[in-house]
Amino acid sequence: MALDDIHTPVMLERCIELLEPAISAPGSIVIDATLGMGGHSEAMLERFPRLHLVGLDRDQDALGIAEERLKRFADRLTLVHTVYDDIEGALEQAGVDRIDGILFDLGVSSLQLDRAERGFAYAKDAPLDMRMDATRELTAERVLAEYSEGDLRRVFQKYGEEKLAARYARAIVEARHGGPLTRSSQLVEVLSDATPAAVKRAGHPAKRVFQALRIEVNQELVALERAIPAALDALRVGGRIVVLAYQSLEDRIVKRALAARTVSTAPAGLPVELPEHRPTYRLLVKGAELADDDEKAANPRATPVRLRAAERVRENNA
């Protein structure tokens, strides 16, 4: 299957438009913090011929595909196998101090969704794996086998915002008495049996549970809470960050991190704002920007996306 058939980068033109003022100058450095199969990276390297790109991904399959896709840019490309919260380590590995731009395209990738054997999609029977990095030990199967009922409920509530978390946790604990849940079809059956008919009509009962398991297995939100501040610290003045989030939990973390850098730190009632209290960043997008109707029709994965972006306007101590 051709890459373009399985991976259409979300809001590609808008991402490039927002990053361009920061990364178009010769010698600019940009990080693609969620490289995936390299769709966004390929476009940036094509359009900015003197740009150096550092691509990060925890998924070794994705890194392999992206390396092949981007091999014609090898002299301007550094690939790093890491989770995106280790931006400092990735920059050290790349021999880079500060960067001009950074892009995050969060959530599960097209590669992970489209390869059934990875176990991310509830609509496809597969082993309950869900690891973005196959070198890590924790899988969805282990979570379901080893977590207590209380811990399962917590995961489903916190990471899936699932109203039936308690019911589903209890059903899973009861089901595993008969043997381990090893395949996605088994889990879907347990969840379906535990779901009231009225709720089933409102949407697939497995959707939020699968999301919660994926986030728990990969510690996605924990990593994101560290990654956005690290990214903001790494940008030089004039540098820009663009983040694509696909669910509310991710978007809240991004929104809070950007808000903290785009408001004055002056004490309330201070008659004059001192330079050191001025914001270090300015927002480039009002609120969260959504994909337009044409893109949603052409690329359904763009439907839930929320885009946020900011530019660094001063150093912390300036």
Q: Is 36 annotated as belonging to a binding site?
A: no
**DSSP label at residue 12:** H
> 166-203 burial string, b = 16+ CB within 10 Å, else e?
ebbbebbbebeeeeebbebebbbebbeebbeeeeeeee
Q: Is 247 annotated as belonging to a binding site?
A: no
- Candidates 253, 261, 257; CA nearest to 237 is 261
254 vs 58: CA distance, rounded Å: 20
Q: Is 64 annotated as belonging to a binding site?
A: no
Q: How many residues does the chain have?
A: 318
For tokens 């929104």, what's the residue? 255
Strand partners, 81: 57
* Bridge pairing between strands 281-283 and 77-81: unpaired
Any alpha helices (H) in the chain, and if so which ranges? 3-6, 12-23, 39-47, 60-69, 87-94, 110-114, 140-146, 149-160, 165-176, 184-193, 197-200, 207-218, 220-234, 248-261, 293-298
Helix (H) / strand (E) containing 49: none
Q: Is 38 annotated as belonging to a binding site?
A: yes
158 vs 144: CA distance, rounded Å: 16
Q: Is 39 annotated as belonging to a binding site?
A: yes
Q: Is 7 annotated as belonging to a binding site?
A: no
Q: Is 277 annotated as belonging to a binding site?
A: no
Q: Which residues are annotated as a binding site for S-adenosyl-L-methionine?
A: 38-40, 57, 84, 105, 112
Q: Residues comprising the binding site?
A: 38-40, 57, 84, 105, 112
